[in-house]
Amino acid sequence: MSDTTLKPHQKELWGHPVGLYILFFTEMWERFSYYGMRALLTLYLVQKTTDKNPGLGWLDQESIMLYGWYTMLVYVMSIPGGMIADKILGQKKAVLYGALTLVAGHGILAFDEMWAFYTGLILIILGVGLLKPNISTMVGGLYKQGDIRRDKGFSIFYIGINLGSFLATFIVGYVGEKIGWHYGFGLAGIAMLLGLAVYLYGQKYLINVGNKPTLEDKKNDVSIGKLLTDLLKSPVHLGIVGLIVIYAFYAGFTYSGVDNWGYTALYIFIGLVAGIMMMIYKNLDTQVMKDRYMVLLLSFIIVIVFWGAFEQAGGLMSIYTKNNTDRMLFGWEIPATWFQSLNAGFIILLATSVAGYWAKRKLKGKEGSSLFKMAIGVIIMGLGFVFMIFAASEFNSKGSSGMQWLVLAYLFHTVGELCASPVALSFITKLAPVKYASLMMGVYFAATGLGNKVAGVLGEKASEFGEYTIFAGITIFTVIFGLLVIALLKPLKRLTHGAEDNERIMHDDEAEGFELADN
């Protein structure tokens, strides 16, 4: 069949569905807006109110605390976002409404008022919660089961994420730091409008994915309400959740921090999610599905560990860059936000090479399972903090540290991320029960959010223990954790029951396209 006789959603470009590139550019502009705002957030919070470009004048610890809560909630809201898509809207409309909410949120942040600041943050949290899990689910839906191009498709999609991040940290970062924080926030909103325009234009290429659930889908699906009802009928599982809730209230009364009741709400939320996860396991039909589900839950733990270390970039490492790093180059001081672009820049340069390496390795029969890649990613990322240890040591002895340590740290973090993060996204679409696909993607992003909160907690501790101790502790823990996953790899792979063993090129013409994309 020639390309001219194909319907728009059947057409391919460079070996992948055209819909992938629509989602690529939609996500690129969404990430431009998000990472542009993220690059400015902690620096805006700590900037003194008396400076030429005044900020809010918060303490480092307070700023990192808000950063941790904000970035956690951005991803935790993916759970209700996934549920709304599964039950009501479908992924396609959920992405649309999420994009509209993000435009409103970033636009409100352009106003220099505290009400606008908090309102904008809330709208961004809600918008990302609708958009983020569902656009990723749509990427997975573009490929048939067993299509080896799926991992490569997610890696291409990942380039879009990081192209947006790369451009944002340069452009929005410079505008915010040098011209005005709220001009930077407003510029992020304009970028989100571009993403919305691309998405609306490309609807004809997405006809076959993300559609509103049919009556049959709803009939065969199990609602969250029913899962919670089943939980109330299960004394053992209800008891586990009850213990978590009791501890949550205990923490609220005894924790001395200003965000004590925030932790109470977090623990209650974790308890309810744990209960829902237990009920899903109980309701799965076969042992194969249950075994795969357990491996999927383990992958969420890997995700929490990974992002708990990696997300120091937007918090502790961002403030460290501004306060402790010698940023002078040929007599000009490099903006602190620009260093966050290193991660995105390295991803753009290395993403297809890393994905191609793993794909060729697997085709040759060598170990290339998703769990192995994720474990290697955690180890490599953790080793990146060795360079931050060197930086902290140099600062302690000389009063400032060289930029080269940040460059090397971000390089290792990026390689680790490329091994772990896009693979984790793809892994979920392989193992998740079909009727819980969006919910599981939401739980993945919630795990990412919990990792962000862990990162915030660790960053807060730097004021107590010092950066050197925090960076050293992260290095040791992540390497040991990654090695432990590798040690357990064989029994874990058995529990997947060959979910990745049958991946293959679907057709000869697709194989040609895959090789083209790889080059």
Helix axes of 181-201 and 91-109: crossing angle, nearest 10 degrees: 160
- 17: part of which helix (H) or strand (E)? strand 16-17
- Alpha helices in 311-402, H assignment, sequence order: 316-324, 341-363, 370-398
What does residue 380 show for φ and ψ, rounded to 5 degrees?
-60, -45
Q: How many residues does the chain have?
A: 519
Share of the chain above pLDDT 70, in %: 89
pLDDT at position 94 is 93
Within 8 A by CB and 6+ apart from 480, the residues are: none
pLDDT at position 305 is 94
Q: Which residue has the tokens 């107590």?
A: 464
In this predicted structure, the answer to whether residue 393 has a pLDDT above a threshold of 70 is yes
Q: What is the mean pLDDT of residues 61-67?
A: 85
Residue 222: pLDDT band (50, 70, 90) is low
Q: pLDDT per residue over 182-210, tens digit each?
A: 999 889 889 889 999 999 999 988 988 88
pLDDT at position 407 is 94
Q: Which residue has the tokens 């915010």?
A: 176
Task: Report d(CA 189, CA 120) in Å as an integer.
Answer: 11
Q: Which domains are assigned to the chain?
A: 12-213+285-502 (1.20.1250.20), 217-279 (no CATH)
Within 8 A by CB and 6+ apart from 38, the residues are: 71, 314
Within 8 A by CB and 6+ apart from 180, the residues are: 53
What does the CA dihedral 19, 21, 24, 30 come to, rounded to 10 degrees? -80
Q: pLDDT per residue over 268-292, tens digit each?
A: 888 888 888 888 888 888 898 899 9
Q: pLDDT per residue over 225-250, tens digit each?
A: 667 777 777 787 778 888 877 877 77
